[in-house]
Amino acid sequence: MNDFPIAALPLWDWIVEPLQYGFMIQAIWVSAFVGLVCAVLSCYITLKGWSLMGDAISHAVVPGVVVAYALNIPFAIGAFLFGFGATVAIGYVKSKTRLKEDAVIGVVFTGFFALGLVLVTKIPSNIDLFHILFGNVLGISRQDIIQTLIAGGITLALILLRRKDLLLFCFDPNQAKAIGLNTQGMYYTLLSVLALTIVAALQTAGIILVISMLVTPGSIAYLLTDRFDRMLIISTIASVCSCVFGTYLSYHLDVSTGGSIVVLLTLLFILSMVFAPKYGVLAQEFRKRSHGAFEEKHNQQVFINKS
């Protein structure tokens, strides 16, 4: 039956046309998967206040990628070791000096990143620095997909198994300790899944933009709800949709994939910041006004009573 409205046809084409290419199908489902992993973890990272830590890890993986290629081992292993190593280094420097944490993070991750730059320009390899920095999901290789799936799969499994403990750890580490949980272990669990997620997202978003995929979905959800379960759902929907449509956009407009994904995420963030029912700018303004009107009325009342 030919009952498509005429106006919907271009949209249908817009969606279906790219799917005739194998690389597009691949890019779409890989970025959707990465979006899912990032969304779940981002709820924890936003609540724990670790976005700067995520930024640090994402930059610190660069030397790991280069070394991994030089040694001919999977890039994910090198990236993970260096990313996780950076967090250990941060913890160590912080405990041994009088510096504040943000300074320590700044020193360590830029150091790692700079080392990566030096290595990538010195060690002969076929690594394209541009692809590490900004991702290359349209040209992702089979091997890289497997590594992304493994890193993301481990992350999802770990979070699923420990989700309640991790939430308690983010909310009230003292209580976690008081009921005899191993908080040190949870600290490192969360750090390592953070590093794993960054490794998984490396090909999609690139190290510069991966932090957005780790912070923005959770932030959007946090503005929209007061329940952690709903936060997970909202975060996932926002993230996966942005990833899928961002990949489409990059195909149709011939622009950077990671860039368009993050632009979409940011748009969603702005929308929720303005229109969120309870914590949005408009809602707050409205509450303030109606409260002010109430005060005014109240004052008038007092005035009338006095006169």
Partner 1 sequence: MQATPPRLDIFVDNISVTYSNARLALYNATCTVEPGAITALVGPNGCGKSTLFKSIMGFLQPSQGQVRVGGFPVQKAQKRQLMAYVPQSDEVDWNFPVSVFDVVMMGRYGYMNVLRIPAPKDRRRVMESLERVDMADFRHRQIGELSGGQKKRAFLARALAQEGKVILLDEPFTGVDVKTEKRIIDLLMQLRDEGHTILVSTHDLASISTFCDRTILLNRTVLASGATADTFTADNLEMTFGGLPVGRVRQISQRPKQPSHQTEVDA
The residue ranges that bind partner 1 (CB under 8 A) are 47, 98, 161, 164-165, 167-168, 170-172, 174-175, 177-181, 222, 225-228, 231
CB 228 to partner 1: min, Å: 5
Give the DSSP letter string of the chain.
Answer: -----TTHHHHHHHHHGGGGSHHHHHHHHHHHHHHHHHHHHHHHHHHHT-HHHHHHHHHHHHHHHHHHHHHTS-HHHHHHHHHHHHHHHHHHHHHHSS--HHHHHHHHHHHHHHHHHHHHHHS-----HHHHHH--GGG--HHHHHHHHHHHHHHHHHHHHHHHHHHHHHH-HHHHHHTT--HHHHHHHHHHHHHHHHHHHHHHHHHHHHHHHHHHHHHHHHHH-S-HHHHHHHHHHHHHHHHHHHHHHHHHHT--HHHHHHHHHHHHHHHHHHH-TTTSHHHHHHHHHHHHHHHHHHHHHHHHHH-
CB 232 to partner 1: min, Å: 10
CB 127 to partner 1: min, Å: 41
Q: Which one, 3 or 226, has the nearer CB to partner 1?
A: 226
CB 229 to partner 1: min, Å: 9
CB 158 to partner 1: min, Å: 12
Q: Which one, 122 or 288, has the nearer CB to partner 1?
A: 288
Q: Which one, 131 or 177, has the nearer CB to partner 1?
A: 177
Q: Which one, 181 or 271, has the nearer CB to partner 1?
A: 181
Q: Which one, 226 or 254, has the nearer CB to partner 1?
A: 226
Q: How far apart are CA 252 and CA 15, in angstroms?
A: 10
Q: Which one, 7 or 179, has the nearer CB to partner 1?
A: 179
CB 174 to partner 1: min, Å: 6
